[in-house]
Structure 1
Amino acid sequence: MSGAFLGGLVAGYGVAIPVGAIAILILGLSARTSFRVGAAAALAVATADGLYAALAAFGGAGLAGIIAPVAGPLRVVAAVVLLGLAAHGLWRTWSAHRSRLAPSAPAGRGLGTPGRAYAALLGLTLLNPATVLYFAALVLGRRDAVAPGAVDAALFVAGVFVASASWQLLLAGGGTVVGRALASPRGRLVTGLVSSALIAALAMATLLSS
C-alpha cells in the first residue's frame, strides 16, 4: 500500500472519528429517515474532508519552491500545531465527559431527501476552518512535502476520503443502535481519546522525520 495513501487514511480517521454535532446529525437522519439519506449526509462530510485535504496537498505542491529553504523549521511548526490540536481535542473531550454534556446537533429539518441532506452537510462541514489547518499542518510536516508529486498528493487525498467516508457510512449504517453507544458519554470519551492519540502520533512522526 502506498505510503501517501496510508498517510491519508490515518489523517482521515484522525479528523473523522470524534463524535460531535455533525456525527449526531448523521445518526439522527439515518434513524429518522432512511439509510439512503444518512449515507448521502455521510458522503457529504467525506467530500468536504477530501476537498480540504486536496487544498492542503496540492497547495503544498504549488508552494514547494518557497518552503524548501525552511522545510525543517516548518516541520517543527507543523508538529507543534498538530500537538496543539491533539491537546485541544483531549481537553474538549475530557471537559464534555466530566460535565456529561452531549454536543448539540442541528435540528436537521427539511433534510428528508438524499440531495438535501448532501447539500446541507457539505455546507456545514466546509464551515469548519480547523479542518484545513489540520490537513495543511500534516502536508507541511511530511518529509516529502518539499517535493510532492501529483500522484502522491492524489493518493493522500484518496486516503482521506476513504477513511472519512468509511467512518461516516458506519455511523449512518449503525443508526440508533450504534448511535446510542457512540453518542453516550463513554462513547464520546473513547472516540475523542482515539482521535487525539492519532493526531499526537502524526505529530511525533513529523518531528522524527525532521
Structure 2
Amino acid sequence: MSGAFLAGLVAGYGVAIPVGAIAILILGLSARTGFRVGAAAALGVAAADGLYAAVAALGGAAVAGWLAPFGGPLRWVAAGVLLALAGHGAWRALRPAVPARAAVGRGGLDTPVRAFTAILALTLLNPATVVYFAALILGRGEVGGSGPRAALLFVLGAFLASASWQLVIAGGGTLIGRALTGARGRRVTALLSSAIIAALAVATLLSG
C-alpha cells in the first residue's frame, strides 16, 4: 500500500477522531432522524476534510498563511452557526409533538441533502483543519513520495479515514435512537446534544 495513502489515513483519523461539536451534531441527528440523515452529515464532514487535505497538499504553508488572518472571524461565524443549531435543536425538542405527516417537509437538517450541505459548510468554516493538514504536509517530507499521484493518494486516504469514523458516529447515534424509542427519550437526547453543542461553541470562542 502506498506510503502517501497510509499517511492520508493517519492524518484523516487524526483530525476526525477527537470528539467535537460536529461529532455531537451527527450523533444527535442520527438519533433523531435515522442513519440516512446521519450518514449524509458524516459524508459532509469527510468531503470537507478531503477538500482541505487537497488544498493543504497543493498549497501547504501558503494556504495556512493566507487563512491565518481570517481565523478570528471564521471562529466567530462557526460558533454562531453552532449556537443557532443548538438553539434550533432545543426548540424542536421542546415544541409540542406534531403528527408524523405534518412533520414531513419541515426545515432543519432532517433530510440527507440538507444535512450534507449544512455540515459540509460548517466544517469548512474551521480554518484549523487546513492548518492541521498543511502542517502534516510540511512535516512529512518525502513520506510516500511527492507529485500529483502522491497528493491524490494522500487526499483519498484522508477522505476515507474521515468518512469511516464519522459513519461510525452516525451508526452509534442510530443505535441510541432505536434504544430511545419514546418521545421523552428522544427529547432528552436532543436537549443533551444541543447543550453540548452550545458549550462547545462557547469553548470555540474562548479558545481564540
Query: Same fold by TM-score, threshold 0.5 exceeded?
Result: yes
Say if 2:44 is the partner of 1:39: no
State the Cα distance separating 1:141 from its structure 2 match. Answer: 1.0
Question: Residue in 2 aligned with 1:9?
Answer: 9
Instruction: Tell me how far apart the structure 2 counterparts of residues 143 and 49 of structure 1 sit (CA, whole Å).
Output: 21
Question: Residue in 1 aligned with 2:157?
Answer: 159
Question: Structure 1 unaligned runs (5+)?
Answer: 64-102, 185-210
Q: Which amino acid aligns with 1:29?
A: L
Between Structure 1 and Structure 2, how many residues are aligned? 141
Q: Which amino acid aligns with 1:140?
A: L
Q: Secondary structure at the match of 1:44?
A: helix
8 Å contact from structure 1 (residues 171, 178) kept in 2: no
8 Å contact from structure 1 (residues 46, 161) kept in 2: yes
Question: Residue in 2 aligned with 1:120?
Answer: 118
Say if 2:18 is the partner of 1:21: no
TM-score in terms of structure 2 length: 0.61
Q: Secondary structure at the match of 1:19?
A: coil
Q: Secondary structure at the match of 1:131?
A: helix
8 Å contact from structure 2 (residues 44, 117) kept in 1: yes
State the Cα distance separating 1:143 from its structure 2 match. Answer: 1.8
Q: Which amino acid aligns with 2:150?
A: D
Q: CA RMSD in A?
A: 2.8
1:147-186 superposed matches below 5 A: 148-175=146-173, 177=175
From 140, 143, 153, the counterpart of 2:141: 143
State the Cα distance separating 1:178 from its structure 2 match. Answer: 6.7
Question: Structure 2 unaligned runs (5+)?
Answer: 63-81, 90-106, 180-191, 193-208
Relative distance call for 1:142 and 1:17 in structure 2 (3 A) is: same
8 Å contact from structure 2 (residues 9, 161) kept in 1: yes
Kindly provide the CA deviation profile for residues 41-79 of structure 1, in whole angstroms up to 9, marking residues without a partner as x. 000000000000000112249x8xxxxxxxxxxxxxxxx
Q: Which amino acid aligns with 1:49?
A: D
- Structure of larger gyration radius: 2
8 Å contact from structure 2 (residues 56, 133) kept in 1: yes
Which runs of at least 4 in structure 1 moved beyond 4 Å after TM superposition? 176-180
Q: Secondary structure at the match of 1:169?
A: helix
TM-score in terms of structure 1 length: 0.61
